[in-house]
Amino acid sequence: MSEKKQVRLISWNVNGLRAVLKKDFFDSVTGMDPDILMLQETKLQENQRSDQMIRFGDYESFWNYSTVKKGYSGVVSYTRITPDAVTTEFGKPEYDGEGRIIRMDFETFVLFNIYFPNGQMNDERLSYKLAFYDWFLDYTQKLRDEGKSIIVTGDFNTAHNEIDLKNPAPNAKRSGFLRIERDVLDKMVDMGYVDTFRHFYPEEVKYSWWSYRFNARKNNAGWRIDYFFVTRDLIENGIIKAAFIDNDIFGSDHCPVGLVVAV
């Protein structure tokens, strides 16, 4: 029986791909050495991509763009491992138009790169965010019913528990830490998903996003809102080897989060 290869997955909300390219992006990627790199909030249209963005190193790239507003949302997945299939349209115009999801199918699992909606603007966007969560969990449940294993990563725009943000009490009535949003992550756990970082580090305080205001990153007044959630079978079968948050990578108001899997 051949030994399984360990594959590094990295997820990073770059808050504008053009902006992060000016901030040692390629050096950061080289240092992290991901086999699959998933970026959120690229803020690009298709015709704004440079050749360097489309293909660098030995990565091929798969993109999804917002068609409802320019300079908004958008995700890209770079991979050294050619997927069996890639999906960017899901038959839901209200979600497809914002360019938030890339699904990549591999032999061992289905991998989702997602920029989940932010609910802070108003009640309408909060409702949109909650409906998006519900739709996505229904969508992936159908895949699970077919026997597929799932990895979901990206910016969830919600801190799960008090350990996951610096100042929980003052933020309890702010979107991103509302009980109704946190309940969705509770539901994911109840459905058999595992927060991989918390699985390996139950008590560790570490964040993945900091406001640009108030010297938040310098003071480490952050939130953990970027995750790798996986179906429990991947844990039980020994596929998930490690999870991490790389606070030493700068260039965005988020830092990268990672997962090591054996395939």
Q: Percentage of the chain with pLDDT > 70?
A: 99
CATH 3.40.50.150 assigned to domain 6-262? The reply is no
The answer to whether residue 46 scores a pLDDT higher than 50 is yes
Mean pLDDT across 51-59: 94
Question: Is 64 annotated as ligand-binding?
Answer: no
- Would you kindly state where each structural domain of the chain is located, as residue ranges? 6-262
Read off the pLDDT of residues 189-207 as tens digits, 9 standing for 90 and up. Answer: 999 999 999 999 999 999 9
The answer to whether residue 1 scores a pLDDT higher than 80 is no
Confidence (pTM): 0.98
Note the pLDDT of residue 4: 86
Note the pLDDT of residue 67: 96
Per-residue tokens: 1: 């029986």
> Catalytic residues, which ones?
115, 155, 254
Note the pLDDT of residue 198: 98
State the sign of the Cα–Cα–Cα–Cα dihedral 12, 16, 19, 21: positive
Task: Give the confidence band of 7 by pLDDT, cuts at 50, 70, 90.
Answer: very high
On the 0-12 / 13-18 / 19+ scale of CB atoms within 10 A, 65 is buried
Note the pLDDT of residue 3: 74
The answer to whether residue 13 scores a pLDDT higher than 90 is yes
Question: Is 157 annotated as ligand-binding?
Answer: yes
Note the pLDDT of residue 255: 98
Per DSSP, the three-state class of 200 is: helix
H or E stretch at 232: helix 232-236
- One DSSP character per residue, 95-142 reads HHTTT-EEEEE-SS-EEEEEEPPP--S-HHHHHHHHHHHHHHHHHHHH
Question: Is 164 annotated as ligand-binding?
Answer: no
Question: Is 47 annotated as ligand-binding?
Answer: no
Note the pLDDT of residue 2: 58
Per-residue tokens: 56: 């660098």
Per-residue tokens: 180: 């109704």
| Mean pLDDT rounded to a whole number for the chain | 97
By C-alpha distance, which of 184, 166, 162 is closest to 117? 184
Contacts of 251 (CB under 8 A, 6+ apart): 14, 19, 20, 23, 24, 25, 28
